[in-house]
Amino acid sequence: MALEYKTYEEAKERFRWRERWELFDGTKDRFNIAHECIDRHPRDDVAIRIRFEDGRSEVYTFGEFSEMSCRFANFFESRGIGQGDSVAIMLFPSFSLYVSMFGVFRRGAIAVLCFPLFGPDAIAFRLEKSRAKAIVTTRDMVEIVDPDLAERLNLKVIYADDLIERLKKESSDYAWNTSADTPCMIQFSSGTTGAPKSIMYRHGAISVAAVVMKLGNGLREDDTYFCPSSPGWGHGIWYGTIAPLIFGRAIGTYSGKFDPEKVLEAMEEWGVTNMAAISSHYRLIIGSGIADRFDIKLRRLVYTGEAMTRDMIEAVHETWGIYPYVQYGTTEAGPITLDYGGFENWVVKPGSLGKPMIGGVKVAVLGDDDRELPCGEVGQIALWRNNAWVKIGDSAYMDEDGYFWYVSRIDDVIISSGYTIGPVEIETAIMKHAAVEECAVVGSPDKDRGDVVKAFIKLKQGYSPSDELAEEIRLFVRSGLSKHEYPREIEFIEDLPKTPDGKIRRKVLKERERSKKLELQGA
Protein backbone atom coordinates (compact mmCIF):
# COMPACT_ATOMS: atom_id res chain seq x y z
CA MET A 1 0.00 0.00 0.00
CA ALA A 2 1.17 3.55 -0.69
CA LEU A 3 3.24 5.35 1.95
CA GLU A 4 3.75 2.19 4.04
CA TYR A 5 7.36 2.84 4.98
CA LYS A 6 8.91 1.53 8.18
CA THR A 7 11.60 4.18 8.66
CA TYR A 8 12.29 7.79 7.72
CA GLU A 9 15.40 6.71 5.85
CA GLU A 10 13.41 4.24 3.73
CA ALA A 11 10.75 6.87 2.95
CA LYS A 12 13.35 9.50 2.05
CA GLU A 13 15.02 7.10 -0.37
CA ARG A 14 11.96 5.50 -1.98
CA PHE A 15 9.08 7.97 -1.82
CA ARG A 16 7.97 9.52 -5.10
CA TRP A 17 5.07 11.96 -5.29
CA ARG A 18 3.29 9.95 -7.98
CA GLU A 19 2.53 7.17 -5.50
CA ARG A 20 0.20 9.42 -3.50
CA TRP A 21 -2.53 8.80 -6.08
CA GLU A 22 -2.66 5.17 -4.96
CA LEU A 23 -4.37 6.36 -1.75
CA PHE A 24 -7.53 7.35 -3.65
CA ASP A 25 -10.33 5.82 -5.71
CA GLY A 26 -10.20 8.49 -8.39
CA THR A 27 -7.77 9.29 -11.16
CA LYS A 28 -6.42 12.64 -12.27
CA ASP A 29 -9.16 12.79 -14.91
CA ARG A 30 -11.98 11.94 -12.53
CA PHE A 31 -11.48 13.14 -8.99
CA ASN A 32 -13.60 14.87 -6.33
CA ILE A 33 -12.74 15.82 -2.76
CA ALA A 34 -16.18 14.99 -1.39
CA HIS A 35 -16.12 11.49 -2.85
CA GLU A 36 -12.58 10.77 -1.62
CA CYS A 37 -13.16 12.20 1.87
CA ILE A 38 -16.69 10.93 2.51
CA ASP A 39 -18.31 8.49 0.08
CA ARG A 40 -15.72 5.71 0.09
CA HIS A 41 -15.75 5.18 3.87
CA PRO A 42 -18.16 2.92 5.87
CA ARG A 43 -21.44 4.79 6.21
CA ASP A 44 -21.89 3.96 9.91
CA ASP A 45 -18.43 5.16 10.97
CA VAL A 46 -18.18 8.51 12.75
CA ALA A 47 -17.16 11.34 10.39
CA ILE A 48 -17.61 14.47 12.53
CA ARG A 49 -17.31 15.22 16.26
CA ILE A 50 -17.94 18.79 17.43
CA ARG A 51 -17.74 20.09 21.01
CA PHE A 52 -19.49 23.45 21.43
CA GLU A 53 -18.69 26.16 23.97
CA ASP A 54 -21.92 25.43 25.87
CA GLY A 55 -20.58 21.93 26.59
CA ARG A 56 -22.78 19.93 24.22
CA SER A 57 -21.46 17.67 21.48
CA GLU A 58 -22.73 16.69 18.05
CA VAL A 59 -21.65 13.55 16.20
CA TYR A 60 -22.39 12.61 12.57
CA THR A 61 -21.64 9.54 10.48
CA PHE A 62 -20.16 9.32 6.99
CA GLY A 63 -23.58 8.22 5.75
CA GLU A 64 -25.27 11.34 7.11
CA PHE A 65 -22.44 13.52 5.84
CA SER A 66 -22.56 12.02 2.35
CA GLU A 67 -26.32 12.33 2.03
CA MET A 68 -26.55 15.94 3.22
CA SER A 69 -23.62 17.17 1.13
CA CYS A 70 -25.28 15.60 -1.95
CA ARG A 71 -28.50 17.38 -1.06
CA PHE A 72 -26.55 20.63 -0.75
CA ALA A 73 -25.00 20.20 -4.22
CA ASN A 74 -28.49 19.69 -5.68
CA PHE A 75 -29.76 22.69 -3.70
CA PHE A 76 -27.07 24.90 -5.21
CA GLU A 77 -27.53 23.57 -8.71
CA SER A 78 -31.24 24.41 -8.58
CA ARG A 79 -30.37 27.96 -7.55
CA GLY A 80 -28.05 28.61 -10.44
CA ILE A 81 -24.69 28.15 -8.72
CA GLY A 82 -22.55 26.58 -11.42
CA GLN A 83 -19.18 24.91 -11.65
CA GLY A 84 -16.44 27.45 -11.14
CA ASP A 85 -18.67 29.87 -9.20
CA SER A 86 -17.22 31.07 -5.88
CA VAL A 87 -19.18 30.49 -2.68
CA ALA A 88 -18.19 32.15 0.59
CA ILE A 89 -18.84 30.21 3.80
CA MET A 90 -18.80 32.24 7.02
CA LEU A 91 -19.71 29.91 9.89
CA PHE A 92 -18.31 28.54 13.11
CA PRO A 93 -17.62 24.78 13.07
CA SER A 94 -21.00 23.07 12.68
CA PHE A 95 -22.70 20.40 10.60
CA SER A 96 -23.94 23.20 8.34
CA LEU A 97 -20.39 24.40 7.71
CA TYR A 98 -19.07 20.96 6.73
CA VAL A 99 -22.13 20.12 4.64
CA SER A 100 -21.81 23.44 2.80
CA MET A 101 -18.08 23.07 2.27
CA PHE A 102 -18.23 19.56 0.83
CA GLY A 103 -21.46 20.30 -1.01
CA VAL A 104 -19.62 23.08 -2.82
CA PHE A 105 -16.81 20.62 -3.65
CA ARG A 106 -19.34 18.13 -5.07
CA ARG A 107 -20.92 20.80 -7.21
CA GLY A 108 -17.57 21.74 -8.70
CA ALA A 109 -17.92 25.26 -7.32
CA ILE A 110 -15.16 27.07 -5.41
CA ALA A 111 -15.29 27.38 -1.62
CA VAL A 112 -14.08 30.55 0.09
CA LEU A 113 -13.83 29.81 3.82
CA CYS A 114 -14.11 33.01 5.90
CA PHE A 115 -13.20 33.30 9.58
CA PRO A 116 -16.50 34.22 11.30
CA LEU A 117 -14.88 36.84 13.55
CA PHE A 118 -13.65 38.91 10.62
CA GLY A 119 -14.77 42.52 10.44
CA PRO A 120 -16.69 44.04 7.51
CA ASP A 121 -13.55 45.10 5.60
CA ALA A 122 -11.97 41.64 5.72
CA ILE A 123 -15.18 40.00 4.53
CA ALA A 124 -15.66 42.57 1.77
CA PHE A 125 -12.09 42.01 0.56
CA ARG A 126 -12.63 38.25 0.25
CA LEU A 127 -16.05 38.53 -1.37
CA GLU A 128 -14.84 41.03 -3.95
CA LYS A 129 -11.51 39.32 -4.64
CA SER A 130 -13.20 35.94 -5.20
CA ARG A 131 -16.18 37.45 -7.08
CA ALA A 132 -18.45 35.38 -4.85
CA LYS A 133 -21.85 34.39 -6.25
CA ALA A 134 -23.24 33.26 -2.88
CA ILE A 135 -22.50 33.28 0.84
CA VAL A 136 -23.57 30.73 3.45
CA THR A 137 -23.85 32.33 6.87
CA THR A 138 -26.29 33.04 9.70
CA ARG A 139 -28.87 35.80 9.97
CA ASP A 140 -26.94 37.57 12.72
CA MET A 141 -23.58 37.43 10.92
CA VAL A 142 -24.89 38.58 7.54
CA GLU A 143 -25.16 42.10 8.97
CA ILE A 144 -21.42 42.64 8.47
CA VAL A 145 -21.72 42.07 4.71
CA ASP A 146 -21.68 45.38 2.85
CA PRO A 147 -25.16 45.64 1.20
CA ASP A 148 -23.81 47.74 -1.68
CA LEU A 149 -21.16 45.13 -2.42
CA ALA A 150 -23.72 42.34 -2.13
CA GLU A 151 -25.92 44.13 -4.67
CA ARG A 152 -23.01 44.74 -7.03
CA LEU A 153 -22.02 41.05 -6.89
CA ASN A 154 -25.65 39.94 -7.09
CA LEU A 155 -24.79 37.88 -4.02
CA LYS A 156 -27.15 35.08 -3.05
CA VAL A 157 -27.44 34.69 0.74
CA ILE A 158 -28.00 31.17 2.07
CA TYR A 159 -28.94 31.15 5.74
CA ALA A 160 -27.45 28.31 7.75
CA ASP A 161 -29.94 28.74 10.61
CA ASP A 162 -32.45 26.38 8.97
CA LEU A 163 -30.26 24.99 6.17
CA ILE A 164 -30.25 21.33 7.22
CA GLU A 165 -34.03 21.25 7.43
CA ARG A 166 -34.37 22.88 4.00
CA LEU A 167 -31.96 20.39 2.43
CA LYS A 168 -34.19 17.46 3.36
CA LYS A 169 -36.40 18.39 0.39
CA GLU A 170 -33.52 17.84 -2.06
CA SER A 171 -32.40 14.58 -3.67
CA SER A 172 -29.69 12.63 -1.83
CA ASP A 173 -28.13 11.52 -5.13
CA TYR A 174 -25.66 13.72 -6.96
CA ALA A 175 -23.44 12.89 -9.93
CA TRP A 176 -20.30 14.99 -9.56
CA ASN A 177 -18.15 15.84 -12.56
CA THR A 178 -14.71 17.13 -11.58
CA SER A 179 -11.05 16.24 -12.11
CA ALA A 180 -7.90 16.69 -10.08
CA ASP A 181 -7.33 19.98 -11.94
CA THR A 182 -10.79 21.42 -11.25
CA PRO A 183 -10.58 24.53 -8.99
CA CYS A 184 -12.11 23.85 -5.57
CA MET A 185 -11.07 26.55 -3.12
CA ILE A 186 -9.64 30.04 -2.78
CA GLN A 187 -7.63 30.40 0.40
CA PHE A 188 -6.34 33.70 1.75
CA SER A 189 -3.07 33.88 3.67
CA SER A 190 -3.37 35.37 7.14
CA GLY A 191 -0.16 37.40 6.93
CA THR A 192 0.98 39.96 9.48
CA THR A 193 1.63 42.64 6.88
CA GLY A 194 -0.08 43.85 3.72
CA ALA A 195 -3.26 42.61 2.10
CA PRO A 196 -3.91 38.84 2.25
CA LYS A 197 -2.81 36.91 -0.82
CA SER A 198 -5.29 34.62 -2.53
CA ILE A 199 -4.26 31.10 -3.51
CA MET A 200 -6.37 28.93 -5.83
CA TYR A 201 -6.43 25.23 -4.95
CA ARG A 202 -7.63 22.34 -7.09
CA HIS A 203 -9.20 19.03 -6.09
CA GLY A 204 -5.90 17.20 -6.49
CA ALA A 205 -4.32 19.32 -3.75
CA ILE A 206 -5.70 16.95 -1.14
CA SER A 207 -3.12 14.40 -2.28
CA VAL A 208 -0.37 16.56 -0.76
CA ALA A 209 -2.29 16.86 2.52
CA ALA A 210 -2.60 13.07 2.55
CA VAL A 211 1.18 12.63 2.44
CA VAL A 212 1.75 15.12 5.26
CA MET A 213 -0.99 13.58 7.40
CA LYS A 214 0.40 10.08 6.96
CA LEU A 215 4.13 10.76 7.25
CA GLY A 216 4.10 13.93 9.38
CA ASN A 217 1.12 13.54 11.72
CA GLY A 218 1.54 9.78 11.73
CA LEU A 219 -2.22 9.20 11.57
CA ARG A 220 -3.12 5.53 12.11
CA GLU A 221 -6.32 3.50 11.67
CA ASP A 222 -6.75 3.22 15.44
CA ASP A 223 -6.33 6.97 16.08
CA THR A 224 -8.98 9.35 17.34
CA TYR A 225 -8.04 12.70 15.83
CA PHE A 226 -8.57 16.22 17.15
CA CYS A 227 -7.79 19.68 15.73
CA PRO A 228 -9.34 22.84 17.25
CA SER A 229 -8.05 25.15 14.47
CA SER A 230 -10.80 27.16 12.77
CA PRO A 231 -11.78 26.08 9.22
CA GLY A 232 -11.55 29.80 8.42
CA TRP A 233 -7.77 29.31 8.18
CA GLY A 234 -5.51 26.99 6.22
CA HIS A 235 -4.56 24.68 9.08
CA GLY A 236 -8.20 24.17 10.05
CA ILE A 237 -9.17 23.55 6.43
CA TRP A 238 -6.45 21.09 5.47
CA TYR A 239 -5.40 19.40 8.70
CA GLY A 240 -8.49 20.04 10.77
CA THR A 241 -10.99 18.93 8.13
CA ILE A 242 -9.81 17.42 4.85
CA ALA A 243 -6.72 15.38 5.75
CA PRO A 244 -8.17 13.10 8.47
CA LEU A 245 -11.25 12.38 6.33
CA ILE A 246 -9.03 11.11 3.51
CA PHE A 247 -8.08 8.20 5.78
CA GLY A 248 -11.58 7.67 7.19
CA ARG A 249 -10.75 9.31 10.52
CA ALA A 250 -13.36 11.68 11.93
CA ILE A 251 -13.04 15.44 12.12
CA GLY A 252 -12.71 16.29 15.81
CA THR A 253 -13.03 19.97 16.64
CA TYR A 254 -14.19 22.72 18.99
CA SER A 255 -16.69 25.46 18.10
CA GLY A 256 -16.66 28.78 19.93
CA LYS A 257 -14.24 30.89 21.92
CA PHE A 258 -11.36 28.60 22.85
CA ASP A 259 -11.89 27.20 26.34
CA PRO A 260 -9.08 24.91 27.61
CA GLU A 261 -11.31 23.11 30.08
CA LYS A 262 -14.01 22.26 27.54
CA VAL A 263 -11.37 21.22 25.01
CA LEU A 264 -9.74 18.92 27.58
CA GLU A 265 -13.16 17.47 28.48
CA ALA A 266 -13.76 16.60 24.84
CA MET A 267 -10.29 15.11 24.42
CA GLU A 268 -10.84 12.89 27.46
CA GLU A 269 -14.38 11.89 26.50
CA TRP A 270 -13.47 11.02 22.91
CA GLY A 271 -10.18 9.33 23.79
CA VAL A 272 -8.11 11.57 21.51
CA THR A 273 -4.78 9.99 20.57
CA ASN A 274 -3.57 12.24 17.73
CA MET A 275 -3.85 16.03 17.89
CA ALA A 276 -2.80 18.92 15.65
CA ALA A 277 -3.16 22.58 16.62
CA ILE A 278 -1.50 25.98 16.43
CA SER A 279 1.06 26.84 19.09
CA SER A 280 -1.23 29.23 20.97
CA HIS A 281 -3.77 26.47 21.61
CA TYR A 282 -1.18 24.44 23.49
CA ARG A 283 -0.05 27.56 25.35
CA LEU A 284 -3.62 28.17 26.53
CA ILE A 285 -4.15 24.53 27.53
CA ILE A 286 -0.90 24.21 29.48
CA GLY A 287 -1.26 27.72 30.89
CA SER A 288 -4.68 26.85 32.32
CA GLY A 289 -2.96 24.73 34.95
CA ILE A 290 -5.64 22.02 34.75
CA ALA A 291 -4.34 19.76 31.97
CA ASP A 292 -3.06 17.15 34.42
CA ARG A 293 -6.57 16.67 35.87
CA PHE A 294 -7.75 14.93 32.70
CA ASP A 295 -7.05 11.40 31.49
CA ILE A 296 -5.55 12.31 28.11
CA LYS A 297 -4.24 9.45 25.98
CA LEU A 298 -2.26 11.37 23.36
CA ARG A 299 0.44 9.42 21.54
CA ARG A 300 1.17 12.05 18.86
CA LEU A 301 0.94 15.83 19.02
CA VAL A 302 1.72 18.28 16.20
CA TYR A 303 1.99 22.08 16.22
CA THR A 304 2.26 24.77 13.57
CA GLY A 305 1.52 28.48 13.06
CA GLU A 306 4.22 30.01 15.28
CA ALA A 307 7.39 28.92 17.02
CA MET A 308 6.87 27.16 20.34
CA THR A 309 9.21 28.19 23.12
CA ARG A 310 11.53 25.58 24.61
CA ASP A 311 9.87 26.06 28.02
CA MET A 312 6.45 25.35 26.51
CA ILE A 313 7.80 22.29 24.71
CA GLU A 314 9.16 20.96 28.01
CA ALA A 315 5.87 21.79 29.77
CA VAL A 316 3.97 19.76 27.16
CA HIS A 317 6.38 16.89 27.66
CA GLU A 318 5.99 17.03 31.43
CA THR A 319 2.19 17.10 31.13
CA TRP A 320 1.60 14.37 28.53
CA GLY A 321 4.91 12.51 28.35
CA ILE A 322 5.48 13.22 24.66
CA TYR A 323 7.32 15.88 22.70
CA PRO A 324 5.36 17.97 20.19
CA TYR A 325 6.19 17.48 16.51
CA VAL A 326 6.49 20.56 14.30
CA GLN A 327 5.23 21.32 10.80
CA TYR A 328 6.53 24.41 9.04
CA GLY A 329 5.19 25.82 5.79
CA THR A 330 3.22 28.65 4.22
CA THR A 331 -0.06 29.03 2.35
CA GLU A 332 1.88 29.93 -0.79
CA ALA A 333 4.67 27.34 -0.59
CA GLY A 334 2.98 24.41 1.14
CA PRO A 335 4.92 22.09 3.50
CA ILE A 336 8.60 23.02 3.82
CA THR A 337 10.09 21.23 6.84
CA LEU A 338 8.58 18.96 9.49
CA ASP A 339 9.03 16.26 12.07
CA TYR A 340 8.12 12.83 10.71
CA GLY A 341 5.60 11.43 13.18
CA GLY A 342 4.85 8.49 10.94
CA PHE A 343 8.10 6.76 11.91
CA GLU A 344 8.96 5.38 15.31
CA ASN A 345 12.67 5.86 14.63
CA TRP A 346 12.29 9.61 14.00
CA VAL A 347 14.37 11.67 16.46
CA VAL A 348 12.70 14.88 17.59
CA LYS A 349 14.97 17.81 18.31
CA PRO A 350 12.65 19.89 20.50
CA GLY A 351 12.38 23.43 19.15
CA SER A 352 13.71 22.69 15.68
CA LEU A 353 11.73 22.91 12.42
CA GLY A 354 12.57 19.30 11.55
CA LYS A 355 13.92 18.33 8.14
CA PRO A 356 12.78 19.19 4.59
CA MET A 357 9.69 17.58 3.09
CA ILE A 358 10.73 14.39 1.34
CA GLY A 359 10.12 13.76 -2.34
CA GLY A 360 12.59 16.21 -3.81
CA VAL A 361 11.79 19.39 -1.87
CA LYS A 362 15.07 21.33 -1.67
CA VAL A 363 15.47 23.74 1.24
CA ALA A 364 18.49 25.86 2.12
CA VAL A 365 19.62 28.79 4.24
CA LEU A 366 20.90 31.65 2.07
CA GLY A 367 23.19 34.55 2.88
CA ASP A 368 22.87 38.12 1.64
CA ASP A 369 24.57 37.11 -1.60
CA ASP A 370 22.00 34.30 -2.11
CA ARG A 371 24.62 31.62 -1.62
CA GLU A 372 23.94 28.59 0.56
CA LEU A 373 25.33 29.05 4.05
CA PRO A 374 27.18 26.34 6.00
CA CYS A 375 25.75 24.72 9.12
CA GLY A 376 25.26 27.06 12.05
CA GLU A 377 25.12 30.33 10.11
CA VAL A 378 21.89 32.35 10.16
CA GLY A 379 20.32 33.42 6.89
CA GLN A 380 17.02 33.29 5.00
CA ILE A 381 15.14 30.04 4.44
CA ALA A 382 14.58 29.43 0.73
CA LEU A 383 12.94 26.81 -1.49
CA TRP A 384 14.28 25.74 -4.88
CA ARG A 385 11.44 26.33 -7.35
CA ASN A 386 11.58 26.58 -11.14
CA ASN A 387 15.37 26.65 -11.20
CA ALA A 388 15.64 29.51 -8.71
CA TRP A 389 15.71 30.08 -4.98
CA VAL A 390 12.48 31.49 -3.52
CA LYS A 391 12.94 33.13 -0.13
CA ILE A 392 10.26 32.48 2.48
CA GLY A 393 10.85 35.57 4.63
CA ASP A 394 12.09 33.73 7.74
CA SER A 395 15.59 33.60 9.14
CA ALA A 396 17.00 30.29 10.36
CA TYR A 397 20.05 28.07 10.42
CA MET A 398 20.70 24.40 9.72
CA ASP A 399 22.56 22.14 12.14
CA GLU A 400 25.04 19.38 11.34
CA ASP A 401 22.27 16.75 11.30
CA GLY A 402 20.19 18.57 8.66
CA TYR A 403 17.56 19.97 11.07
CA PHE A 404 16.47 23.58 10.55
CA TRP A 405 16.13 26.03 13.45
CA TYR A 406 13.88 29.08 13.30
CA VAL A 407 15.24 32.48 14.36
CA SER A 408 12.61 35.06 13.36
CA ARG A 409 10.72 36.73 10.55
CA ILE A 410 13.16 38.76 8.47
CA ASP A 411 11.05 41.86 9.15
CA ASP A 412 11.35 41.21 12.90
CA VAL A 413 15.17 41.09 13.04
CA ILE A 414 16.64 43.79 15.30
CA ILE A 415 19.98 45.43 14.44
CA SER A 416 21.42 47.03 17.57
CA SER A 417 24.97 48.40 17.78
CA GLY A 418 25.94 46.10 14.92
CA TYR A 419 24.46 42.99 16.54
CA THR A 420 21.79 41.00 14.69
CA ILE A 421 19.16 39.94 17.21
CA GLY A 422 16.14 37.68 16.79
CA PRO A 423 13.14 38.44 19.03
CA VAL A 424 12.07 34.84 19.72
CA GLU A 425 14.96 33.97 22.03
CA ILE A 426 14.39 37.14 24.07
CA GLU A 427 10.65 36.50 24.25
CA THR A 428 11.37 32.97 25.46
CA ALA A 429 13.56 34.35 28.25
CA ILE A 430 10.97 36.95 29.26
CA MET A 431 8.21 34.33 29.39
CA LYS A 432 10.13 32.49 32.12
CA HIS A 433 9.40 35.34 34.54
CA ALA A 434 6.52 34.50 36.87
CA ALA A 435 4.69 37.79 36.22
CA VAL A 436 4.55 37.52 32.40
CA GLU A 437 1.53 36.14 30.54
CA GLU A 438 2.48 37.21 26.99
CA CYS A 439 5.13 39.36 25.38
CA ALA A 440 6.45 40.64 22.06
CA VAL A 441 9.90 42.04 21.34
CA VAL A 442 10.68 44.60 18.61
CA GLY A 443 13.39 47.06 17.70
CA SER A 444 12.80 50.63 18.86
CA PRO A 445 14.72 53.42 17.05
CA ASP A 446 17.73 54.78 18.94
CA LYS A 447 20.12 57.50 17.71
CA ASP A 448 23.19 55.78 19.18
CA ARG A 449 22.49 52.09 18.63
CA GLY A 450 20.25 52.13 15.55
CA ASP A 451 17.65 50.11 17.41
CA VAL A 452 17.30 49.02 21.00
CA VAL A 453 15.46 45.93 22.14
CA LYS A 454 12.02 46.80 23.48
CA ALA A 455 9.60 44.37 25.10
CA PHE A 456 5.83 44.81 25.23
CA ILE A 457 4.55 42.73 28.13
CA LYS A 458 1.10 41.61 29.21
CA LEU A 459 1.12 40.71 32.90
CA LYS A 460 -0.67 37.86 34.61
CA GLN A 461 -3.53 38.61 36.97
CA GLY A 462 -2.25 39.68 40.37
CA TYR A 463 0.68 41.71 39.00
CA SER A 464 0.67 45.46 38.43
CA PRO A 465 2.89 47.53 36.14
CA SER A 466 5.69 49.40 37.88
CA ASP A 467 9.22 50.67 37.25
CA GLU A 468 10.44 48.20 39.85
CA LEU A 469 8.86 45.23 38.05
CA ALA A 470 10.24 46.41 34.71
CA GLU A 471 13.75 46.57 36.15
CA GLU A 472 13.31 43.15 37.76
CA ILE A 473 12.31 41.62 34.41
CA ARG A 474 15.15 43.44 32.65
CA LEU A 475 17.76 42.03 35.06
CA PHE A 476 16.10 38.60 35.00
CA VAL A 477 16.50 38.39 31.22
CA ARG A 478 19.99 39.90 31.20
CA SER A 479 21.21 37.21 33.60
CA GLY A 480 20.30 34.48 31.08
CA LEU A 481 21.17 36.08 27.72
CA SER A 482 24.01 38.06 26.21
CA LYS A 483 24.36 41.61 27.49
CA HIS A 484 23.31 43.09 24.14
CA GLU A 485 20.08 41.02 23.98
CA TYR A 486 18.15 42.04 27.08
CA PRO A 487 15.23 44.52 26.68
CA ARG A 488 16.55 47.99 27.44
CA GLU A 489 12.99 49.29 27.20
CA ILE A 490 9.85 47.65 28.61
CA GLU A 491 6.26 48.75 28.17
CA PHE A 492 3.39 47.02 29.91
CA ILE A 493 0.36 46.56 27.68
CA GLU A 494 -3.17 45.24 28.26
CA ASP A 495 -3.33 43.20 25.06
CA LEU A 496 -0.91 42.46 22.25
CA PRO A 497 -2.06 43.14 18.66
CA LYS A 498 -2.74 39.87 16.86
CA THR A 499 -4.03 38.55 13.57
CA PRO A 500 -7.46 36.87 13.76
CA ASP A 501 -5.77 33.45 13.92
CA GLY A 502 -3.69 34.45 16.94
CA LYS A 503 -0.29 35.45 15.52
CA ILE A 504 1.35 38.42 17.25
CA ARG A 505 1.63 41.41 14.93
CA ARG A 506 5.11 42.69 15.80
CA LYS A 507 4.98 45.02 12.79
CA VAL A 508 2.15 47.01 14.43
CA LEU A 509 4.24 47.48 17.56
CA LYS A 510 7.34 48.36 15.53
CA GLU A 511 5.47 50.99 13.51
CA ARG A 512 3.95 52.40 16.69
CA GLU A 513 7.46 52.77 18.14
CA ARG A 514 8.86 54.48 15.06
CA SER A 515 5.93 56.91 14.93
CA LYS A 516 6.33 57.74 18.61
CA LYS A 517 10.09 58.34 18.30
CA LEU A 518 9.56 60.55 15.24
CA GLU A 519 7.01 62.63 17.16
CA LEU A 520 9.47 63.03 20.04
CA GLN A 521 12.22 64.12 17.65
CA GLY A 522 9.85 66.62 16.07
CA ALA A 523 8.99 68.01 19.48
How many Å is the Cα radius of gyration of the chain?
A: 24
pLDDT of residue 447: 77
Last residue of a domain, one of 219, 237, 257: 257
pLDDT of residue 2: 84
Where does 2-65 show beta strands of DSSP type E? 46-52, 57-61
Shared domain for 147 and 182, answered yes or no, is: yes
Separation of alpha carbons 155 and 148, rounded Å? 10
Full residue range of the structural domain in which residue 427 is found: 413-522
Shared domain for 100 and 42, answered yes or no, is: yes
pLDDT of residue 193: 46
Shared domain for 366 and 491, answered yes or no, is: no
In a domain, 283, yes or no: no
What's the structural domain count of the chain? 3
- Give the contacts of 462 (CB within 8 A, at least 6 positions apart): none
pLDDT tens per residue, the chain (523 residues)? 689 999 999 999 999 999 999 999 999 999 999 999 999 999 999 999 999 999 999 999 999 999 999 999 999 999 999 999 999 999 999 999 999 999 999 999 999 999 998 889 889 999 999 999 999 999 999 999 999 999 999 999 999 999 999 999 999 999 999 999 999 999 987 654 456 789 999 999 999 999 999 999 999 999 999 999 999 989 999 999 999 999 999 999 999 999 999 999 999 999 999 999 998 899 899 989 999 999 999 999 999 987 888 888 999 999 999 999 999 998 888 899 999 999 999 999 999 999 999 999 999 999 989 999 999 999 999 999 989 999 988 999 999 999 999 988 777 778 787 666 878 878 888 998 999 999 999 999 887 778 899 999 999 999 999 999 999 999 999 887 867 788 999 999 999 998 776 778 888 998 888 888 777 765 4
Q: Could you tell me which of 229, 212, 188, 245 has the C-alpha nearest to residue 65?
A: 245
Q: Look up the CATH number of the domain holding residue 417.
A: 3.30.300.30
Separation of alpha carbons 291 and 286, rounded Å? 6
pLDDT of residue 194: 53
Last residue of a domain, one of 370, 393, 410: 410
- Give the contacts of 472 (CB within 8 A, at least 6 positions apart): 433
Provide the 10 A C-beta neighbour count for residue 389: 17
Shared domain for 38 and 83, answered yes or no, is: yes
pLDDT of residue 192: 45
Separation of alpha carbons 79 and 170, rounded Å? 12
Shared domain for 29 and 61, answered yes or no, is: yes
Q: Look up the CATH number of the domain holding residue 371.
A: 2.30.38.10
Last residue of a domain, one of 208, 235, 257: 257
For CA atoms 390, 203, 193, 276, the dihedral sign is: negative
Cα 501 → chain centroid:
8
pLDDT of residue 479: 85
Terminal Cα-to-Cα distance of the chain (whole angstroms): 71
